[in-house]
Amino acid sequence: MLLRRASTVSCYFCNTSVPAPQNKLRWTCPHCDALNNFVDGNLHDPAMFNESLNKRGVQRRDRLPEFTRNILCHECKRNGALVMQLLANWDGPEDDDARFEEYRQSIESRYPLVCDLCRSDVEAEIHKKNTMARSAALGAWLNQTKGKTKQRLISPQEAERISRELFAWRVRGCLWAATALICLLCNMFAGLGYWPPTFRYPSIMLSLNAISLSWMFWNPTYSAFRSAKKQGRDVRVRGQNKHITLQLCVWIWRLGTAALLYAHSSRGLDILHFPSMTSRVYFAAGAFLELLSAFLPFFVLRLQQPPQIRLIDTNSHKHEASRSRSHTPAPGPEPDLFAGLSFSSQPPQPSPHKVPVFGVSSMPSTNVFAQTQPQFADDDQMDIDPPAGAKPKQSDPVWLRPQRFFAPEAPTGLEHLFEQTKIVDSNEDVTMADASTRPGLPRMWLAVSFAIPILAAIAGLVYKLRRGTPLQPLASDTLLHPPLVPM
């Protein structure tokens, strides 16, 4: 081992491990094409001493040179540096996020990071980066779906095997439901003070509990999971650890109950004396545990769907509408175009808002403040009576809605890629948690309707015990073979 030759060597320039060459003192790296020449243990590069060995950089003539243009002006750069410096000088408490956010907003309002001249360039750069990100996401998604068409095409033998697995899954589900129902009823009757017929055969109960381990961990979402896998979707099952833990606890509880009943019937031990309060509480707790194990798997287990890729930003017009200049006032509410139309004999009242007229500025005039001031009558004001036949001049304005359009976008070559594909857009952002399938409301109502009688029986038992109703002890011969109580 000490004389074993090293299998790899590292390049001095790129630090990449490569297979050991024949001559370790002089070899060329296949990754960076650098010559690793060692003389007396030191790196010796002839190009360091001979200028003729150095390659001169020559610009390629088959492409135009690329120049990096800074989209921010000197004022924006200065404001950005000031904002960073002032935020670094924050001397308030570190855990007070509200004050820090208010401080940051006040600084950014005094020193805006983007001016009006640079805003269009910044938005264009953001749009360019978003387009590049969508293209990269689409490429990654296409690489993931590569070969999924062949995966969905299965052979007849594979289809037959899947059908056999689904049939076995349904059989295991029926056995799981029957076992849960029988155990729930037995524990409920035992909690009420009745001896179930199945308790007469504890040896059979032990055998069935041992066999039930094969269908105890039945998964209700297996069919949907296999169907999604067959369609090529990458889905995951959430909540398996909780489901397995709960079912294992229930199985151990059943096995312990069967063992205690077997010890009572074979050795005559009065461990589970049914008229006693201890045995009733024990089986009432068992009924509650059986109820949880029967209904919780339908709520705990769920399928998590992969996130949906949104190729088109449907909210882009909202973002563009919300991006207003810092010095541009917010537009007021649009006037009602049909306010002047009425079937009544009385004319409608004029709207207090100014009617937009084509060619006339809609900006507030400079004497708005003077108009809001209270008007006082002047003593020297002349009284002029207009002529009787004169009517105020009425103009017929042209009603035009504000023009709304979207700027043309550069074609990317992917416009007609998914013409026949339905794209479902969600209202929220893409996340792995919001795309999960949960059981519907009918299952919850079924669980509630099934649990109400059990809880009512337990409440009646507690009320009966609190009133102090005497319980008649059973004889020793009736413990082994008690009479059946009609229900």
Contact criterion met (CB below 8 Å) for 244 and 217: yes
Distances (CA, A) of 182 to 3, 86, 187, 198, 388: 72, 71, 9, 9, 101
Dihedral, CA of residue 117, residue 122, residue 123 and residue 129, to nearest 10: 160
Considering the domain boundaries, does residue 159 fall inside one?
A: no
Structure tokens at 320: 């563009």
Cα separation, 193 vs 455, whole angstroms: 15
Cα separation, 244 vs 248, whole angstroms: 6
What confidence score (pLDDT) does residue 479 get?
38
Cα separation, 17 vs 418, whole angstroms: 44
Contact criterion met (CB below 8 Å) for 23 and 9: no
Q: Which of 81, 106, 128 is the last residue of a domain?
A: 128
Cα separation, 457 vs 192, whole angstroms: 7
Nearest to 186 by CA among 170, 164, 163, 209: 209
Question: Same domain, yes or no, for 228 and 194?
Answer: yes
What confidence score (pLDDT) does residue 423 get?
52
Cα separation, 135 vs 138, whole angstroms: 5
The number of beta carbons lying within 10 Å of the beta carbon of residue 192 is 19
The range of the structural domain enclosing residue 286 comes to 166-309+435-469
Question: Same domain, yes or no, for 31 and 176?
Answer: no
Question: Same domain, yes or no, for 212 and 296?
Answer: yes
Question: Same domain, yes or no, for 222 and 175?
Answer: yes
Tell me how many domains the chain contains: 3
Nearest to 290 by CA among 467, 426, 447: 447
Considering the domain boundaries, does residue 335 fall inside one?
A: no
DSSP-derived 3-state class of residue 476: helix
Considering the domain boundaries, does residue 343 fall inside one?
A: no
Look at the pTM and tell me if it is higher than 0.85.
no
Q: Summarize pLDDT for 89-138 with one digit per residue, the tens.
A: 888 888 888 889 999 999 999 999 999 889 999 999 998 888 888 888 88
DSSP-derived 3-state class of residue 303: strand
Most confident of 282-296, 361-375, 392-406, 423-437: 282-296
When mean pLDDT is compared across 8-22, 274-288, 318-332, 344-358, the lowest value belongs to 318-332
Considering the domain boundaries, does residue 141 fall inside one?
A: no
Question: Same domain, yes or no, for 229 and 173?
Answer: yes
| CA triple 55-59-61, angle to 5 deg | 135
Cα separation, 328 vs 324, whole angstroms: 7
Q: What percent of the chain has pLDDT over 90?
A: 5
pLDDT of residue 460 exceeding 60:
yes
Question: Same domain, yes or no, for 204 and 295?
Answer: yes
pLDDT of residue 174 exceeding 50:
yes
Distances (CA, A) of 114 to 35, 73, 78, 123, 129: 49, 9, 11, 10, 18
Question: Same domain, yes or no, for 94 and 193?
Answer: no
Cα separation, 277 vs 266, whole angstroms: 23
Question: Same domain, yes or no, for 210 and 305?
Answer: yes
Question: Same domain, yes or no, for 262 and 118?
Answer: no
Q: What is the mean pLDDT of the chain?
A: 71
- The arithmetic mean of pLDDT across residues 454-467, rounded, is 70
pLDDT of residue 81 exceeding 80:
yes
| CA triple 416-418-423, angle to 5 deg | 135
User: Helices marked H in 231-276 — which ranges?
Assistant: 240-267
Cα separation, 358 vs 391, whole angstroms: 24
Considering the domain boundaries, does residue 219 fall inside one?
A: yes
DSSP-derived 3-state class of residue 173: helix
The amino acid present at 480, given as its one-letter code, is L
Considering the domain boundaries, does residue 396 fall inside one?
A: no
Contact criterion met (CB below 8 Å) for 115 and 80: no
What confidence score (pLDDT) does residue 78 get?
92
Model confidence at 257, pLDDT cuts 50, 70, 90, reads confident
Contact criterion met (CB below 8 Å) for 201 and 263: no
What confidence score (pLDDT) does residue 315 get?
60
What confidence score (pLDDT) does residue 79 get?
92
What confidence score (pLDDT) does residue 83 get?
92
Considering the domain boundaries, does residue 216 fall inside one?
A: yes
Q: What is the DSSP code (8-state) at residue 275?
A: T
Q: Summarize pLDDT for 182-238 with one digit per residue, the tens.
A: 888 888 888 887 777 777 787 888 888 888 888 888 888 888 888 887 777 778 888
When mean pLDDT is compared across 58-62, 132-136, 142-146, the lowest value belongs to 58-62
Model confidence at 68, pLDDT cuts 50, 70, 90, reads low
Cα separation, 301 vs 223, whole angstroms: 13
Long-range contacts of the stretch 104-108 (C-beta < 8 A, 24+): 107/82, 107/83, 108/83
Model confidence at 308, pLDDT cuts 50, 70, 90, reads low
Question: Same domain, yes or no, for 232 and 294?
Answer: yes
- The arithmetic mean of pLDDT across residues 384-393, rounded, is 56
Structure tokens at 443: 């299952």
Model confidence at 358, pLDDT cuts 50, 70, 90, reads low
**DSSP string covering 1-61:** -TTPPPSEEE-TTT--EEE--S-TTEEE-TTT--EEEEETTEE--GGGT-GGGSPPP---S
Considering the domain boundaries, does residue 428 fall inside one?
A: no
Q: Which of 109, 128, 147 is the last residue of a domain?
A: 128
Question: Same domain, yes or no, for 106 and 244?
Answer: no
Which H or E run contains 163?
helix 156-191
Question: Same domain, yes or no, for 19 and 87?
Answer: no
Cα separation, 412 vs 13, whole angstroms: 39
pLDDT of residue 433 exceeding 80:
no
